[in-house]
Structure formats: structure tokens, C-alpha cells
Amino acid sequence: MRELQFREALREAMSEEMRRDKNVFLMGEEVAEYNGAYKVSQGMLDEFGPERVYDTPISELGFAGLGVGAAMNGLKPIIEFMTFNFSLVAIDQIINSAAKMYAMSGGAYSVPIVFRGPTGNAGQLGATHSSNFENWFANTPGLKVLVPSNPSDAKGLLKSAIRDPDPVIFMESEVMYSDKGMVPDGEYLIPIGVADIKRKGTDVTVISFGKMMKVALEAAEEMAKTGVSCEVIDLRTVRPIDYATCVESVKKTNRVVIVEEANPLAGISSELTYHFQRHAFDYLDAPVIRVNSMDIPLSYSPSYIDVTIPNVTRTVEAIQKVLYKA
């Protein structure tokens, strides 16, 4: 095991897969000469050269479409968006081309492409650079959507995503790139669609993914000080969702809180809430509680950001409510 930054784990995943398969290449804004906007691709141009690490113009629609065409013809592109807010410019290529091509071609064309980059709030970037799109893309048949929470998962999931025959949305966070964690030595893959129980517990299930796992785990630590045992589940993948792991946990704890950074309407937390009332209703001793961002565009003000997105205080209050007030 080694301690790596989140960005270093992503870089290792891409580099290992590019050494393994000459058809894998990286393309995006500033990924080559500048070593990546967040230094994720640092040194990759030197190793793989300009034929496999491409700087692009500021034209997401153009280079996303180029990537889809390359994937249809046997290559395996990694398309980096500087932020997934910019993916909206390319959403026609992602939704109407990459996601639907296999079905529309009757299986003649697969699209083995990874669209990756940061999602959600990253501090004082303003509303137009602070949105969460995990649930948007998860709503699209034909896409797989991965949102890792730590360096080890990030590396193993990204390697699986690059090898996957279908288009994969791989979402990170600017505020996590410097996070450090232990990463296994040698070759390893993490299967897509398998959640991970990060903390075992008996009193309440807390489910989250991405950087909100920090909030969930810290809230669980706070509750442990009062004698409450929280089981914390990291979805890791929001399409497909590992419903089975979540349901089995709820059957054990009988209570559930879901922490999600996206706005509350039509989110991953909404989908899970429906699933629990459909498949674990008789086991629930309290209503499911969701902790989401407030239903407003995110402000530039740091004090507003702190109260708008999920935090430990709101999560602890939700856990207390399902335990004592439901």
C-alpha cells in the first residue's frame, strides 16, 4: 500500500491503462502542455507524446463528438471536461450519440469512452460552475455513472471504466484532488455497480457517494460519541446502483439517512427512497430522510455555501430525527 493524492491515483489509472492498451488516449482542455487544469495528467504528455495526449480548443461539443467517433472506430478515448458544468455544451454528443449508439445501431457499434472531470461545488466558483449532474446522467439509459470518494476507489474504478465497452461518466471533485489515501500496490480493478460499506453499524444506515462521504463519515463519528452505531455505505456507482447492499443494510438497521450534494428534486436520494419503500417497507421503523443541497443556485458567498450544501450538522440532525423523533 502507498499513500497517494486523489489526482495521483487518477493519473496512475490512466497511465497504466495507456501502457496496457495502445488504443487508449486522453483528450481535453490543457491536459497536455499545461499538465492538466488540476495537474491530474502531469507528465503524461512526456511519456505518451502528443499523439495520445491531446490539448483541445475550448469546444466541448467538438472534442466530445470527436471522441465518440473515435470510440465507434475501435479507440478508447478518455475525454476530460475541466468541469462537468462545461459538459452541458457537449450534452447532445453524450446523450444522443454515446449513450444511444449501441441500441440505435442494433449492436453494430459500441462506444467505449470515458467522460471524466470534476462535479459539484468547489468553493467560490459561482452558480454556473457549481452544479451536480450525477442524477442527470444517471437518468440516461446507456450510460454508467461513477462517483468515487477516495484515491483507492478512484484508481480501481477508473481502470474499470476505461476497460468497459460502454460509455462511462466518471465524476470527481476539485476539492478532493489533494486528498490523500492508501492505494494498493500492483494491478487491481474495482467492479462497476458494487457499493462499499465504509463503516459497519447497527442503529442507522447512512448512504452517500463522492465528496459527501466525508460528511457522512464525520457525522457517523459524531454519533458514535453518543453511543449510536451508524453503518455508512459508499455507493461509488450511481448507475447502476447497488440496491441489494443498501436494502440489506436497511433491513438490519431499520432506519436510513441519504446524503447527496445535488438538489432534492429527482435526485439519487429520491430514487433510493422510492426503492426502500418498495422493497424494504416492512423493515423501516422511521421515514427515510434525505440531506440535499438547498433548492437554489449556489451562491458565491462562502457563508451561504456552508449552509446550502449538506454538512455534518444537518446530517447529525437527520440521524437524530430518524432515531428519536420519527
* 112 close to 105: Cβ distance less than 8 angstroms: no
Query: Active-site residue among 8, 29, 60, 260?
Result: 60
- Give me the DSSP letters along 201-224: -SSEEEEE-TTHHHHHHHHHHHHH
Q: Report the DSSP pairing between strands 196-199 and 230-234.
A: antiparallel
Give the C-alpha separation, 149 to 147, whole Å.
7
Q: Which of 12, 17, 29, 129 is catalytic?
A: 129
Residues 6+ away with beta carbon under 8 Å from 134: 119, 145, 147, 169, 171, 209, 210, 238, 262, 268
Cα–Cα distance measured from residue 32 to residue 37, given in angstroms and rounded to the nearest whole number: 10
**CB contact at 8 A, 318 and 289:** yes
Neighbouring residues of 324: CB distance < 8 A, sequence distance ≥ 6: none
Is residue 275 among the annotated active site residues? no
Task: Report the relative pairing of strands 180-183 and 2-5 from DSSP bridges.
Answer: antiparallel
**Do 256 and 243 meet the contact criterion of CB atoms below 8 Å apart?**
no
Sign, CA dihedral 35-39-41-47, equals positive
| Residue 129 annotated to the active site | yes
Active site residue ranges: 60, 129
